[in-house]
Every structure is written in C-alpha cells, then in structure tokens.
Structure 1
C-alpha cells in the first residue's frame, strides 16, 4: 500500500529482520544442498539408520538382544525366520544390528559434541588472545596432536573403565586438536577484519567480540567439520569395542565384530555374522562424509562452483 492511501508502513524490529534473514539464509542453503546428489544420497542413508535406531523398540523385541530371548540355533544361516541368520548364542543378527545402531550412533554423536565443544573453545581462545595465553593454548593443542590417537584412547578407556559414556568421553577428548587448529586459523583471519576493528574502537569487550562477531563467523565451519568428525567417532567406537574396551552390557556394531572375531566367524564361514555390521559401519561413515562435504561446499563460498 502507498503512503498516500493513509496506511502507515510496517516497520520491522531488528530481531524480526534478523529472523527473516536467517530464514532466507536457511532456504538458500537448503536449495544449494539439494543440488548435491552425493549429499542427498548420504542424507537418505543416514536418515534410514537414524529411523532404525529410533524405531528399534517398535520394530523388534527388546528381549531379542538378551540371552533369554534367543530363539534360534547357534550360527544358523539366513532363513525366512532369521533374515540375517543368528549369532553364536542363537540371537537374530538383524535384531542385533538394529539395536547396535542406537549405541553406535549415540556414542558417535556424543563424542563429536564433546570434541567440537573442546576444539571450538580452545581454537577461539588460542586464535583471539595473543601473547602467553594464546601461545600456551597453541602449544597444548600441538602436544595433543602429536600423541597417537588410538594408544591414547586405549589408555584412557582402560583407566576409566568400560562404559558408553567413557567411550564417548575418550573419543571426544582424543579427537579435538584438529578442530582446534581449524578454528584457530579462522579466528586469526577474522580478527584482522575491519568490522572487528570498528567494534574495538566503539568499546566492545573481548567477550562481546568473540561471542557476537567471531563465533558466528566460524560456526559454519564448525558445523561442516562436525559431520566429518562423526564418521571418525563412529569408526573409533567400533575399533575400541572390537578391542574389548566397550560396554559389555550393550550391543554395538563394534561389539558384534568383536564377538564374530572371537568365535572365528571367518574361518567357520559364518559370513552373515561379520559382514552385516561391517557394511553398516561403512555405510554410516560414508553417509556422514558425503553430507559433510556437501555442507562444507554450501557454507564455504570459496568451494561453490567446483563440483
């Protein structure tokens, strides 16, 4: 409506403008993401496994993972009753796979959150602060970076004891240095930009500069790196469980591989016990990797047009 008609133009508040811009940004990013076929394939695969993990109590019997719920013979091959055969205790391998998805995904996501929080915090502080504080944090990150990941994770898991929380904590604590170095490099670049200098001149404090200017600019990089780190965390959980350092009371894909190796599933020809969990690990890691690369391409304008 024109001003001559007597209608007063509606003025949006700063918060409403910010929300509108945020919605437009999300819509634009989603449209860019949909143009990535590999990213969509990864998202579909990931959604399928997330659905299995969430719907496990609805599509399978929770007693099927217990010894008392075993209804089949020992290492029966696939059949109409047991689509993926049974394990050495007579339990359905398909049921174990579905319930194992809950543990593997949960541990992977929790470990990634821990890694991202520690890495982002240390990366921001080591990049923003100069002098002894920044140098000390940078050296601390380098010290953690040169320690071999697997031996460190094995030592921590052995000391803290086997449990799902321990495995997630161990993976998160052992895998944050790469994120910290990435965020530090971004912070050093952003700190030299003109708008941050204007904020300092106007009297903005350090916390205001970090939380309102630097953190929002590094968040897309953190988000893209998160999806790539999840795949590493899931592989690490599988490795630690395979080595017998996982929670013995919970079923995961790693513990299934460990049990299959312990009973000699390869030498006895029980392929249905060792191949399915291995394939599930590969598919989930691949899906997170595809989604992560697609998100990185969408959020980083330097990568657009290089597909």
Structure 2
C-alpha cells in the first residue's frame, strides 16, 4: 500500500475518533450560546464564535460526527440495496436481469443533481430525508458494479462443478459469490461515503439540509448567509475550518477507497499489470 493511502487511512481514523469522542472533546454544546456574536479566537473559544455566539470549534467537532454519520449510512444503505439487486440480476439472469438493468439504465440517463435537489426540496429537511435521497442515487451504480462482478464470477470452474453437483442458485450466491464480493464492497463503502458526504454538504449549502444538525455543510451555509461575513475577519475562523475539514475528509476517504479498490478489484489489477 502506498504512503498516500497510509496517510489517508491515518487521517480518516483521526476524523473517526474525533467523531466518536465528540462529547468529550467539544468544549461546549454545538447549539449553546456560549459567547458574544463573532468573537475572535481566544483561549475560551479556540475558533471564535459565529453570528449567534455559538462556539465554532464545538460545531466543527460535532459536524464531523453528523457528516460521517450521513455519509456512512447513505453508503451502507445504497451498497446493501444495490448489491442485492446486482447479485439477483447476475445470478438469476433472464427476466430478472433485464428488469433490473433497464431500471438502472433509465435512472443513469436522468441528470442526478436537478432530481436530487427536487427530491430533497419536496420532503421535510431532516437527516433521514437526506440519507434516503443519497441511498436512492447510490443504488443503481452499485447494482451495475456488483452485477458485472457476479457475471465474471459465474465463469469460474468451481461454480460449474457446484451447479453440476445440484447446488441451487441461492446456495451458490450465499456460499461462493457473496464472500468473493465482500472485499470489493468494503472498498465501495469508503468511496461512496466520500461521495455522500460531498453530496450532503452540497444539499446543505443549497439550504436543503437539516438546520438543527450542525454538519459541515450547514456551517458553510450559515456562514455565507451572514451578510457581513466578508466585511469582518470572521470568515477566517467561521468559513474556512468546515471547508478545510470537508476537503481533508474527502481526500482521506478517496485515497483510502482507491487503495482498497485497487487491491480487491481484479479488473483494476489486470489493467495495472
């Protein structure tokens, strides 16, 4: 594994630890009014306060927990459902395969961003809505990927031998195909988490996120909504930290995910050789 991947994994572990121990690390509640508006960084408020007097460092720490929660839930949900459809299409074939793949093909031709904004704006802005929308958009991509891997695995000789011995398709799926897919799916969890975090930040930035959950996207939205943000030095401690955290987390997830995918995806390994 490359040094970049190791660095990305270490940074990802750091973000995860901060998110897990947020109640112990944050000096204040992210929703508490702990100071005057727009206080500059000090010993009491290391990153100052926002326009309502809330501690920005506390929001940043808890924001990592919200962003990671949304990203991980959306990635796991999309991969589980997409993998289920992809495995069913690849193993059973026939009408099942045609139905699933036509749904995937039609969905992939639709511009994602306008539809994502439309769905997020139509339903009540809360974390569960954001997660559900992101799962819906992850599902077709994962279904296509898993189906292609299943079709490749079906050509293995040991599966032919198992079929000749009377093994059912469900048995083949559970006993042979699914274990082969697990490493690739783990890599996809990391990659789709980074996509989901970026998408959640974008939706929150557009005002379609849950305003009561202090994610990094919500912090950016609230900072930019403050009309005097660029007429004071507050942008340095209010706007920059969440943007830098999103960038660092996406880079950590991307490098880690690509390293895992390169290791477990046989197609990429063959191309590299």
TM-score when scaled to structure 1?
Answer: 0.82
Q: Which residue matches 1:278?
A: 243
Q: By how many angstroms is 1:288 displaced?
A: 0.7
Counterparts in 2 of 1:1-307, with a 5 A limit?
35-62=1-28, 64-66=29-31, 69-264=32-227, 265-271=229-235, 272-300=237-265, 303=269
Where has structure 1 moved over 6 Å in runs of 4 or more? none
Structure 2 contact 74–135 (Cα < 8 Å) conserved: yes
Secondary structure, counterpart of 1:175 in structure 2: helix
| Residues in 2 aligned to 1:213 and 1:306: alpha-carbon distance in whole angstroms | 26
Q: By how many angstroms is 1:158 displaced?
A: 2.6
Deviation digits for residues 152-211 of structure 1 (CA, Å, limit 9, x no counterpart): 222222333111111111111112222111111111111122111111111111100111
- Shift in CA distance, 204/168, structure 1 to aligned 2, threshold 3 Å: same
TM-score when scaled to structure 2?
Answer: 0.92
Structure 2 contact 92–169 (Cα < 8 Å) conserved: no
Unpaired runs of at least 5, structure 1: 1-34
Q: By how many angstroms is 1:213 displaced?
A: 1.5
CA radius of gyration, larger in? 1
Secondary structure, counterpart of 1:81 in structure 2: coil
| Residues in 1 aligned to 2:206 and 2:140: alpha-carbon distance in whole angstroms | 24
Structure 1 contact 297–304 (Cα < 8 Å) conserved: no
Unpaired runs of at least 5, structure 2: none
- Shift in CA distance, 236/198, structure 1 to aligned 2, threshold 3 Å: same
| Residues in 1 aligned to 2:60 and 2:10: alpha-carbon distance in whole angstroms | 18
Structure 2 contact 26–57 (Cα < 8 Å) conserved: no
Deviation digits for residues 20-74 of structure 1 (CA, Å, limit 9, x no counterpart): xxxxxxxxxxxxxxx4211211111111111111111112245x322xx323222
| Residues in 1 aligned to 2:100 and 2:263: alpha-carbon distance in whole angstroms | 31
- Shift in CA distance, 118/267, structure 1 to aligned 2, threshold 3 Å: farther
